[in-house]
Amino acid sequence: MTVSRDELLKAIENIYGKKGMSEKDSEDLCDFILSFFGYEDYIIDNVLTAAERDVFYNLEEYGIVTTFREEINIVHGKSWRINQWYLDKAKIGKLAREDKKEVEEKNIYDSIFKNM
């Protein structure tokens, strides 16, 4: 299963669009993510700058990406940690299929002040 640009864009719009992100910014974020992964479903954390990593941590909160850590023993018993980011294809698919209905938040104070 691969993730298409359209599917990832729809998932991003369903998450961040509800929070006020513009369509252009959603497209830019989608292209930003895909620029790292290309045809793969994972990347090594070392390629990310601190700012890019912050974006990936935010994406992780919504389930678009997940992390995986692997420890490898090298010479003289030392450990080498490899951190990787994976696209969560199943979660992206689920988010892309969600209905983009805006849920209006009720402000309980409106009704109180109307009665005053």
The better pLDDT of the pair 115, 86 is held by 86
- The 10s digit of each residue's pLDDT in 31-73 is 999 999 988 889 999 999 999 999 999 999 999 999 999 998 8
Contact 32, 64 (CB under 8 A): no
Instruction: Report residue 44: phi and psi, to 5°.
Output: -90, 135
pLDDT of residue 33: 94
Whether the Cβ atoms of residue 96 and residue 11 lie closer than 8 Å to each other: yes
- Mean pLDDT score, 79-89: 92
pLDDT for 87-103, tens place per residue? 999 999 999 998 755 44
The Cα–Cα gap between 115 and 16 comes to: 35
What is the mean pLDDT of the segment spanning 108-112? Answer: 62
pLDDT given for residue 6 in this prediction: 94
Measure the CA–CA gap between 25 and 17, rounded to whole angstroms: 9
Distances (CA, A) of 45 to 36, 55, 110: 10, 12, 47
